[in-house]
Amino acid sequence: MTDDELLARADAVAERAYAPYSKFYVGAALLTRDGRAIEGVNVENAAYPLGTCAERNVLSRAVTEGFGPGELEAIAITASPCGGCRQWLHEFRLDRVIFRKGSGEVVTRTPDELLPESFDL
Ligand code: THU
């Protein structure tokens, strides 16, 4: 699957986001090293801080399916990842992160570029 196709998956799944409060619909699609695609969306809650981002939801889904750090090749996101999600992306050692910036431009970055001097235990 190409990066463009992965982003198209993220765009398509964003329609399923549960975002009645912000109305900001985010989709994320992961590509596993064995060629599978796993999708996720943001899920909000009336108690606002309990909402979860599309990136964290899709990574949790991947872990549930048996994938861990080093086993995920790329992620495509319909928006620029927030600070907390950048730490999650760092944890899973993806090769590349493809996302659409607020300006509409699509860029590809490494997790290290997105979160320099990141925290490790
Ligand atoms: N959101 C994400 O899903 N991912 C990000 O990296 C940025 C923010 C969601 C959270 C919330 O549901 C909505 O976008 C507005 O902040």
CA distance 78 to 38: 15
Catalytic residue flag (residue 65): no
CA of 34 to the centre of ligand 1 (A): 28
Give residue 51's pLDDT. 98
User: Ligand 1 test: best mutation among 16, 24, 43, most atoms within 8 Å of CB?
Assistant: 24
Q: Report yes or no on whether pTM surpasses 0.95.
A: yes
CA distance 40 to 9: 10
User: Residue 42: which of 15, 69, 74, 62 has the closest Cα?
Assistant: 15
**Which CATH number fits the domain 3-114, given the four candidates 3.40.140.10, 3.10.450.40, 3.30.420.40, 3.30.470.20?**
3.40.140.10
Give residue 40's pLDDT. 98
Q: Is residue 109 classed exposed, middle or buried when 0-12, 13-18 and 19+ CB atoms within 10 A define those classes?
A: middle
- Summarize the confidence of residues 7-28 as an average pLDDT: 98
Q: Domain locations in the chain?
A: 3-114
pLDDT digits (tens, 9 = 90+) for 72-101: 999 999 999 999 999 999 999 999 999 999
CA of 39 to the centre of ligand 1 (A): 15
CA of 42 to the centre of ligand 1 (A): 6
Q: Tell me, using a 6 A CB cutoff, whether residue 24 lines ligand 1.
A: yes
Give residue 91's pLDDT. 97
